Chains A and B, each alone.
Chain A
Amino acid sequence: MTVLVIAEHTHTEIKPSTLNTISAAQKISSDIDLLVIGNDCGAACAEAQKISGVRKVIKCDHAEYAHNIAENLTPAVLKIARDYTHILAPATTFGKNLMPRVAALLDTQQISDIISVEDEKTFKRPVYAGNAIATVESSDDIKVITVRSTAFDKVPAEGGNASCEDLDAAETSDMSRFVKQELSVSDRPELTAANIVISGGRGLGSAENFHIIETLADKIGAAVGASRAAVDAGYVPNDYQVGQTGKVVAPDLYIAVGISGAIQHLAGMKDSKVIVAINKDAEAPIFTVADYGLVADLFDVMPELTDKIA
C-alpha cells in the first residue's frame, strides 16, 4: 500500500493540517509521498522534505497553481493518483473543496472527515453533527479520504530526509478564476492549532464588546473563536466560527463566553481537553459539556478573570 498526501501550504510554508494528515496516513502505510502543488513553492517543498515519515516529496510548480483552484489542481493530482492505494488531504476548506472533485473523476466514493483508521479499508467518521460515529468500510480500489486534523497528532516537522522530484504541470483552464481574497490578519495563534481557544457568543451583545474576549486571549496567548450566532450577528468574521459547519477545534483549554451551546457549536469543540463555560443562564446547554462552569454575567467576571489570570 502506498499513500499520497496532498499538502496544504502557503507556497512558502507547509500548514500544520498537513502534519496531522501525514499522521493519519502512517496508520495505513509507511510508504507516504507528499504532493505539493503550488506556485513558486520551492520553500514549502524544502520544508516538506524535512517532515518525519515522508518518503518522497513531489513538486508540481506552476503559476496557475497560485490560488488553489480545484479545477486546476485536480488534473495535477490525477496525473499520479492511480499510483496509490490511498489519497489523503486535510478536511479543511482546502481539502473539502478539492478532494470530491478528484474522487469523482477516479470513480471512487470519498470518505470524508475521518477520525480514526481501523484498518486499510475501514475508517470512523462523525455523522449527524458528531452525534453519531459511523464505522465504514470502503470497497473502492483507490480510497480518497479527508482527515479531521484534531483527531490525529502532528508528525514532527523535522527529522525527515525525503527526496524531491518534479512533476510537470497538468493542463489548466480558465473556467474558474481567482478574483480576490479578504483574509483575517492576526498575530494570534491559528484557531485550529492553538493550545487555548477563547470563544464569544451572542452574550457579548455587540462587535465592540468582543474586545473583552480578545484582551484575555492576548494576555494568555490564545486564539479567538465565536459561535455561529455571534458570526451571524456580525460581531466577528466568518473564519472565527467554531462548529459543525465552521472549524473543529480540540485545544487543551476551551473557554466559552456568553455561548449557550447549540448542538451545532458543541460539534466543533466538545473534544477539547478542558472546557470552561461562562454564562449567566445556569440552564444553558454549554454547562452539560463544561468541566468548569461559572454562572455569572460575563461583563462582571471577564475583566476580573483577565486581571487575575497568569
Chain B
Amino acid sequence: MKILVPVKRAIDYNVKVRVKSDESGVDLANVKMSINPFDEIAVEEAVRLKEKGIASEVIAVSIGPAPVQETLRTALAMGADRAIRVQTDVPTDLGGVEPLAVAKCLKALCEKENPSLVIMGKQSIDDDSNQTGQMLAALMGWPQATFASEVSLNGDSAEVTREVDGGLETLAVKLPAVVTTDLRLNEPRYASLPNIMKAKKKPLDDISAEELGVEFKPRLKVLKVTTPPVRQAGIKVDSVDALIDKLKNEAKVI
C-alpha cells in the first residue's frame, strides 16, 4: 500500500512573524524555514505505518522553488522512501500557490501514483487556511477524515478518531482516502545523522506544474497585510484583594 504525504515548507514555528513595512506581506528574508509542523506529524504517521508493515511505500511531495527540496530531504530522513517536487517559481506563502491549486496538483499526482492513502497536515502555519486535504478528497471523490488524533487501518478501510469542537468523533472511511493530521496524532521523531546521510541518496524527482496540467494563478488577491492591533500590557496587582477590586470597580466584568 502506497501512502502519499504532501509537505509544505513554511516559516519555522519559533520565528517571530514580522509584517513588511510596505504591508505587502510577511518578511521571510533570512528567516528560518521548516517543514510545516502538521505535515511533519503526517510524515511520522506514514513512516510508522510502513514500519508496522502496513504501508509498502511512503512518497513525500512538495510544491515550490528549489529550497523545498530541503523540506523533502527532511521527510526522506524521517523515513519516506522517495520524494517528488513540483517545480514552480510562484511563492508558496500568502498570495501565491493557493489551496485549491495545490489540491488540483495533488489530484494529478494521485492519478499518477495511485496511493491508497494521503496523509497531510490539517493546515499550514503560514496562511492557516485548513482547506487542501478536504479539497483533494472532494476532487478525487474520496472520503476525508480531518483533524485526526488516531488512525488505524483495517484492510480496505481506515478508522480515524477526529478532534472536533465537542470532543472526539470516530469515522470509518473506505480507502483510498485523505486523512488530515491534528497535533496529538503522534510526536514526530528527530532524524538521526545516519538517516540524514541516507536521505541524500534517496530519489527526489522534479516535475513541472505544466507537466501536471496545473496553473498556479491566484484567485485571491492579497491587497495588504497588516500587524494586528497590539495589546498593551496592563498592570501588575500585588494581591487577590487588589485583583478583585480592579475586576469589580475598574473593568466592571464581575
Contacts and interface: CB of A to CB of B under 8 A. Distances in A.
Chain A partners chain B: yes
Interface residues of A, number: 87
Interface stretch (B43-51, B81-89, B127-135): B127-135
A71 interface: yes
A100 B131 CA distance: 5
Interface residues of B, number: 81
Identify whether the interface residues of B are mostly helix, strand, loop, or mixed: mixed
Interface in B183-232: 183-184, 218-228, 231
Interface in A259-310: 264, 270, 273-276, 282, 287-295, 301, 304-305, 308-310
Given A138-B219, A181-B167, A232-B184, A291 B251 contact: yes
B99 A100 contact: yes
B243 A175 contact: no
Nearest to A287: B233
A98 B144 CA distance: 10
B205 to A, nearest CB: 26
Contacts of A128: 11, 17, 26, 125-128
Interface stretch (A25-33, A37-45, A156-164, A244-252): A244-252
B35 interface: no
Nearest to A146: B130
B233 A130 contact: no
A239 B227 CA distance: 29
Contacts of A291: 234-235, 251
Contacts of A97: 134, 144, 146-147
A180 B165 contact: no
Given A93-B147, A136-B223, A175-B142, A112 B128 contact: yes
Interface in A169-204: 174-184, 192, 196
A126 B131 contact: no
B170 interface: yes
Contacts, number: 259
A136 B99 contact: no
Contacts of B236: 282, 287, 292-295
Interface of A: 69-71, 74, 92-94, 96-105, 107-113, 122, 126-140, 174-184, 192, 196, 220, 228, 231-232, 237-239, 244-245, 247, 252-253, 264, 270, 273-276, 282, 287-295, 301, 304-305, 308-310
23 contacts: A93-B164, A97-B134, A98-B134, A100-B130, A101-B137, A104-B134, A109-B219, A122-B223, A127-B94, A127-B225, A135-B223, A139-B220, A176-B145, A177-B171, A181-B164, A238-B184, A239-B168, A245-B183, A275-B231, A276-B243, A292-B237, A294-B236, A304-B240
